[in-house]
Chains A and B, each alone.
Chain A
């Protein structure tokens, strides 16, 4: 069974530029999460999808971040414009269903550096 795929693995941009990350979850997984992990901290949930609907985006900075999950499969997270404090690893995870005990499977992440 293939795992969660993410691309690109690394991205370096200058502040005020735009960037997009892509995630393909495990086949059949209904729930998809985007996390931001700043070095030395725990993952912070940005947005959670159930199929193609948003379950929680309370911590997504909506003035600059956007995400979509068309057709309930893969997803894209965009930052426009980027700030220095956006430098972090962006992790995508998926789970079979939505539930507190359902295992989340994480992708390798995209390491973003904003200069």
Chain B
């Protein structure tokens, strides 16, 4: 089988740093992606990790440890507009995707 786990909710204040963790169990693992989804909106791509280590894109960074089946998304200098749901997604066998249950991030003023 396959499964992904994420915290259901995270709360932080503007300007802070927050880390959203994702652990996975799957066969044929290729890589870990992160998507952001605002309420009522469509998921939008944030980052992708195929190799161990940290990938940085502006205020967002993503980390992967294949040996630990673990990754995280790091959001720095939080802004109110970052309030959204964040999904990790596992790419398997180079094609199909499994999304995690999502983490709802609330950024407080």
A44 contacts the other chain (CB 8 A) = yes
CA distance A101 to B50 in the complex (A): 7
With contacts A42-B100, A45-B96 taken as known, whether A101 is within 8 angstroms of B43 at the C-beta atoms is: no
Instruction: Return the chain A residue nearest B46 by Cβ.
Output: A103
B43 to chain A, nearest CB (A): 5
Number of B residues near A (Cβ < 8 Å) is 26
Contacts of A93 in B (CB 8 A): 43
With contacts A106-B42, A107-B42, A109-B42 taken as known, whether A100 is within 8 angstroms of B98 at the C-beta atoms is: no
A2 to chain B, nearest CB (A): 14
Contacts of A99 in B (CB 8 A): 30, 91, 94-95
Contacts of A101 in B (CB 8 A): 30-31, 33, 48, 50, 91
CB pair A43–B87 under 8 Å, yes or no, is yes
A94 to chain B, nearest CB (A): 12
B4 to chain A, nearest CB (A): 8
B71 contacts the other chain (CB 8 A) = no
Which of A42, A43, A56, A91 has the largest count of B CB atoms less than 10 A from its CB? A42
Point out the residue from B4, B45, B87, B92 that lies within 8 Å of A100, measured CB to CB.
B92
Q: B80-109 CB contact bits vs A (8 Å, 1 = yes)?
A: 000000010101111111111110000000
Which of A42, A91, A100 has the largest count of B CB atoms less than 10 A from its CB? A100
B44 contacts the other chain (CB 8 A) = yes
Query: With A101-B33, A104-B35 given, can you name 12 additional A-B contacts, CB distance below 8 Å?
Result: A45-B98, A45-B99, A48-B95, A55-B96, A100-B92, A101-B30, A101-B31, A101-B50, A103-B48, A104-B45, A106-B44, A108-B41
Measuring CB to CB, which residues of chain A are less than 8 angstroms from any residue of chain B? 33, 35, 40-45, 48, 55-56, 91, 93, 98-101, 103-109
